[in-house]
């Protein structure tokens, strides 16, 4: 993608996220809630959301699709530093990450609002995100947007948006466009794991 197209995309995405509010609906990325399929697609038909990507995490360390190795299920939570419901659920997500760490399930955050208008990462926003992670106890991996992840951000019209992927980065189940309590997320995780086994 030419640099100017990337720049326009980043500006549009940043503006959209800043204007977006949290919603309480479930939806599959890329579809309207009304057109949601009743059954999930088999593995060959599932969207390959994170099958191949490179990015960095909040500490500046490189990350790629190998973060899914050894995990049956990864919960990807797209959040923003300005989003109250995002921050309210992060302590619960931190606890869940700890509880599921030895059960083949992990949680990964994707910080949506750290991009400058020129497409570079804002160190000030990264520092704020790090502070939030420390304060909320959400001590799991948090990715920063990279060009490989812009497509996911484009599908997330609201924050928080949470979706699940398998060990190959393929989407499993639906996306959840809302914050939830620890017990609600536990039910969702168990339901997604059961769906994967069927």
Q: Over the chain, what is the mean pLDDT?
A: 84
Q: Give the span between the Cα atoms of 132 and 141, in whole angstroms.
A: 13
**Digit-coded pLDDT (tens) for 24-58:** 434 444 333 333 333 344 545 667 889 899 999 99
Q: What is the pLDDT of residue 57?
A: 98
What average pLDDT does this structure show over 124-149?
Answer: 97
Give the lowest-confidence range in 36-40, 102-106, 159-163, 184-188. 36-40
What are the tokens at 109?
Answer: 């955050």
Q: Please say if the pLDDT value at position 1 is more than 70.
A: no
Asked whether the beta carbons of 179 and 88 are under 8 A apart, the reply is: yes
Asked whether the beta carbons of 79 and 160 are under 8 A apart, the reply is: yes
Q: What is the pLDDT of residue 198?
A: 84
Distances from the Cα of 63 to the Cαs of 53, 121, 154, 185, in angstroms?
Answer: 8, 16, 20, 25
Centroid of chain to Cα 188: 15
Helix or strand (DSSP H, E) at 175: strand 171-177
**Digit-coded pLDDT (tens) for 171-189:** 999 999 999 999 999 999 9
Is it true that the peptide bond before 190 is cis, omega within 30 degrees of 0? Answer: no
Asked whether the beta carbons of 77 and 162 are under 8 A apart, the reply is: yes
Candidates 77, 51, 52; CA nearest to 143 is 77
Centroid of chain to Cα 99: 19
Comparing 41 with 134, the larger pLDDT belongs to 134
Residue 21 CB coordination number (10 Å): 9
Q: What is the pLDDT of residue 49?
A: 86
- According to DSSP, residue 92 is labeled H
| Residue written as token pair 């500006």 | 11
Helix or strand (DSSP H, E) at 165: strand 161-165
Candidates 86, 68, 76; CA nearest to 17 is 86
């Amino acid at each position: 993608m030419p640099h100017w197209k990337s720049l326009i995309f980043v500006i549009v995405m940043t503006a959209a996220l800043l204007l977006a509010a949290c919603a309480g609906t479930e939806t599959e990325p890329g579809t309207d809630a009304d057109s949601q399929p009743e059954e999930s697609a088999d593995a060959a038909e599932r969207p390959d959301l994170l099958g191949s990507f490179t990015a960095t995490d909040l500490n500046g360390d490189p990350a790629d699709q190998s973060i899914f190795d050894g995990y049956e299920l990864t919960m990807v939570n797209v959040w923003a530093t300005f989003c109250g419901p995002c921050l309210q659920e992060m302590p619960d997500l931190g606890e869940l990450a700890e509880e599921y760490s030895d059960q083949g399930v992990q949680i990964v955050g994707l910080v949506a609002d750290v991009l400058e208008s020129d497409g570079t990462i804002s160190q000030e926003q990264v520092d704020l995100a790090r502070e939030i992670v420390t304060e909320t106890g959400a001590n799991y991996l948090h990715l920063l947007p990279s060009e490989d992840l812009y497509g996911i951000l484009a599908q997330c019209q609201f924050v928080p948006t949470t979706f699940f992927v398998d060990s190959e980065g393929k989407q499993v189940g639906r996306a959840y466009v809302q914050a939830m309590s620890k017990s609600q997320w536990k039910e969702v995780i168990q339901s997604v794991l059961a769906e994967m086994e069927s």
